[in-house]
Amino acid sequence: MTATLTHTPAEQALIDALDGATGWQAQLREATLTQGLPTRRHELWKWSDLRRAANDVTAPGRMIVTGLDTPISDGARIELDVTASAGASAADAELVIPAGASVTLIERYSAEAAALGNWHLKITLQDGARLDRIILAADKPDSAFIASSEIALAPNARLHQRALDFGGRLSRIETHVTHPGEGAEVDLGGVYLLEGGHHADSTSVVHHTGPGGVTKQLVKGAAAAKGHGVFQGKFIVDRAAQQTDARMTHRAMMLDDRAEIDAKPELEIYADDVQCAHGNALGALDETALFYMRQRGIPAVRARALLIESFLAEPLDAIADETLREDFKVQLRTRLEALS
Amino acid sequence: MLKIDNLHCQVETQDGEEKPILKGLSLDVPAGEVHAIMGPNGSGKSTLSYVLTGRDGYEVTQGSMVFEGEDLSELEPEERAAAGLYLSFQYPVEIPGVPTITFLKEALNAQRTARGEDEVTAPEFMKLIREKAKQLGVSMDMLKRPVNVGFSGGEKKRMEILQALVLEPKFMILDETDSGLDIDALKTVSEGVNALRAPERGMLVITHYQRLLDHITPDVVHIMANGKIVKSGGPELARELEAEGYDKYLGEAA
Ligand SMILES: Nc1ncnc2c1ncn2[C@@H]1O[C@H](COP(=O)(O)OP(=O)(O)OP(=O)(O)O)[C@@H](O)[C@H]1O
Ligand SMILES: [Mg+2]
C-alpha cells in the first residue's frame, strides 16, 4: 500500500536524511513516510505537536554523537554529547551493560535553531548490572528534539535515571523500560523548568513482566508564563508480575496563570497482588512563604528562585555522583535566575 | 521612630470583596521604647503587623505610616526589612527544602547589600549564628533543618527570636511571640528580646497575656479594639485588663 500522504517539508527532509538507513533509523523513516510526524491526534502525542514544532525545517541536517567509543566495563563513565545541526537528522546507538557491571552514562543534548533531531538509545542491562543514566537536555531553545530509549533489564539489574530538561520549541524525553521483576529495580526521575515559549515532554512506559519488581518515579516541573510542561507516565503490570511495587509521582508548579501543564499518569494492571500508586499535583508558588522570605530581607526575585529551586531539587538530590549533582543544581540555579 | 497616623487599611477577602480592618489607628513609638498592644481576637493586631511590613493584599486607604522619616507605603517588603523592620510572625511559615542556616545567611547578606554594607563571610556567619543559637538554647542540628518544617509551636517562636538576634533589626514587631512557649522557653525568649533592647531600637509587642510583660516591661500599653487604639497607659493597664477583661472598651470602639 502506498501512502497518499502529502509530506510537509520537515517530513520530506527527515525521509531524505534517512535514505538508505537501517535498523531503528529505517523504522523512523518508514513511520514518517507512512504517517508523517506525530501531531496531537496521535494517542501518545496528546500535548506535543511535533509536526508543528518542526515547521521551519526544510532540509536534511546532521546529528553528531561523540563518546560512543568508550569501552563499557565495570566502573565505566560514558559521556555522550548529542548535537543536532539545523535541519532534520537522526542517530541511534546500542549499549549493553555487562552482567554485574556498574556504569554511569551521561547524555548532553544540544541543537541548533531550526533543528529536528531524533536520538534513540537501545540499552540492555544484563543480570545484576547497574546503570546510572543522567540526561542534561539544556541547550536547544529553538528546535525540536526527541530523545527516545528502549531499556531492557535482566533480573537483579538496576536502572537509575535522572533527566534535567529546560525545554525547547519541543523537547521530549521518552523512556520505555521492560522490567522483569526478580530483583530488578527501576528509578526514573526528572526535572523540567520552562521559560515562556518552551515546551518539555516527559513520557515513559515501564512494563513489568515478572514478579516482585520495584519501580519508583518522581518527576517535578515548573513552568513560567507560556511555558508548557507535559508528563505522561504509564506503568503496565502483567499478570505474571505479582508483588510489583510501583509508585509514580508528578508534581509541578505553575509560576504564572498563563503557564500550561498537562499530566496523564496511568496504571494498567493485570495482576491482583500488587502495590501500585500514582500521584499528580499541580500548584502555585506559596505566596505566604514568599512574603516571609521578603520580610527577612530577601528580594522577591531571589526568594522566588530559592523556593522554586527547593521544590525542584528533590529528584536531583538522588544523583549519586556528587560533582554531577552539584553541576545539575548550578545549571538549575542559573536558569532560575535568568527566568526571573 | 515609628509614627502611625489615622491609618485605615482594608484586606481583600476570598470572594474578592474589600473588608476594612484598621479604622483610623494612630500610634507613635519613639526609639528606645517598648510598646505593648493588647486587644481582643479579631481586633486587627496581626493586620497592623502585616500592613507595616508590606504584605500583599493589605491596602492602606487612608492615613500614614512613617519609619525614621520614611513613608513605609512606598517601600517593598524587603526594603522595609533592610530599613530595619522585623516581624516575629504569629504563625511562622514553613519553607520546605531551604535549610534555616542558608535562609538566614541569605537574609542577612541581602539586607547588608541593600544597605550598602559588606556581606559577611561564611566563617563570620557561622561564628555569629553559633553564638546566637547558644544564647537561645537552639541546637545547630535544628538550624540545619528546613525553615520551621516540623518544628513545634514553641520551637518556631524561639526561632523567630533567634532570627531577630542574627539580623539585629532596628524595630521589632512581636506578634504573640509568647503563645505556644512553655514557662522556661518564655524566659529564654524574653531574655533574648531584652538583650535587643537599646536606646536606638523600638519594639511593638502584641500579646494577650501579662506573663510576657512580666519579663519584657513595656513603657506604654495600648488597647486595640475594632481597628483602633482605644486607650493607652502604663504597664498597670495590662494588669487591669488581666483582671477586668475588654468589656468596657468594646462599647467605645463601636
Ligand atoms: N484575608 C482576609 N479576609 C477576610 N477577613 C480577614 C482577612 N484577614 C483578616 N481578616 C479579618 O480581620 C480581622 C482582624 O484580623 P487579625 O488577624 O488582624 O486579628 P488579631 O487582632 O490579630 O486577632 P488574634 O488576637 O486572634 O490574633 C478578623 O476579623 C479577621 O477575620
Ligand atoms: Mg493576630
The residue extents of the domains of chain A are 40-284, 286-340
Q: How many CB pairs under 8 A join A and B?
A: 76
Calculate how far, in angstroms, residue B42's C-alpha sits from the geometric centre of ligand 2.
Answer: 7
- Residue the block writes with cell 518515579: A217
Q: Give the containing element (helix H, strand E) for B252.
A: helix B247-253
Q: What is the CATH number of the domain that holds B7?
A: 3.40.50.300
Contacting residues of A for B80, CB less than 8 Å apart: 295
At residue A273's C-alpha, the angle toward residues A271 and A277, to 5°, is: 85
- pLDDT tens-digit series, residues A29-55: 999 999 999 999 998 999 999 999 999
Ligand 1: atom nearest CA of B57 is 1
Please give the pLDDT value at position B252: 55
ipTM passes above 0.85:
yes
What are A83's three cell numbers?
548535537
Which residues constitute the domain of residue B66? 2-253
CA A150 to chain centroid: 12
Confidence of residue B48 (pLDDT cuts 50, 70, 90): very high
CA distance A314 to chain B (A): 8
Q: Which of B77, B211, B15, B49 is nearest to A287 (CA)?
A: B77
Q: A170-179 and A199-208 as β-strands: parallel, antiparallel, unpaired?
A: parallel
What single-letter amino acid sits at B70?
Answer: E
Q: Kindly state the average pLDDT of the residues A77-84.
A: 98
Say how far apart CA B188 and CA B186 lie, in whole Å: 6
| CB within 8 Å: B110 and A306 | no
Calculate how far, in angstroms, residue B209's C-alpha sits from the geometric centre of ligand 2.
Answer: 13
- pLDDT tens-digit series, residues B194-242: 999 999 999 999 999 988 999 999 999 999 999 999 999 999 999 888 8
Ligand 1: atom nearest CA of B176 is 27
CA distance B41 to chain A (A): 21
Which distant-in-sequence residues (6+ apart) come within 8 Å of B155 by Cβ? B142
Predicted confidence (pLDDT) at residue A5 exceeds the cutoff of 90 = no
CA distance B157 to chain A (A): 14
DSSP state of B54: T
pTM of the complete model? 0.90
- pLDDT tens-digit series, residues A181-235: 999 999 999 999 999 999 999 999 999 999 999 999 999 999 999 999 999 999 9
Calculate how far, in angstroms, residue B90's C-alpha sits from the geometric centre of ligand 2.
Answer: 6
Please give the pLDDT value at position A2: 53
Interface of B with A in 15-44 (CB under 8 A): none
Contacting residues of A for B93, CB less than 8 Å apart: 288-289, 291-292
Please give the pLDDT value at position B242: 84
Please give the pLDDT value at position A22: 96
Number of structural domains in chain B = 1
Please give the pLDDT value at position A4: 67
Task: Indicate the residue of B87, B89, B106 with minimum beta-carbon distance to A298.
Answer: B106
H/E/C letters for each residue in chain A?
CCCCCCCCHHHHHHHHHCCCCCHHHHHHHHHHHHHCCCCCCCHHHCCCCHHHHCCCCCCECCEEEECCCCCCCCCCEEEEEEEECCEEEEEEEEEEECCCCEEEEEEEEEECCCEEEEEEEEEEECCCCEEEEEEEEEECCCCEEEEEEEEEECCCCEEEEEEEECCECEEEEEEEEEECCCCCEEEEEEEEEECCCCEEEEEEEEEECCCCCEEEEEEEEEECCCCEEEEEEEEEECCCCCCCEEEEEEEEEECCCCCEEEEEEEEEECCCCCEEEEEEEEEECCHHHHHHHHHCCCCHHHHHHHHHHHHHHHHHHCCCCHHHHHHHHHHHHHHHHHHC
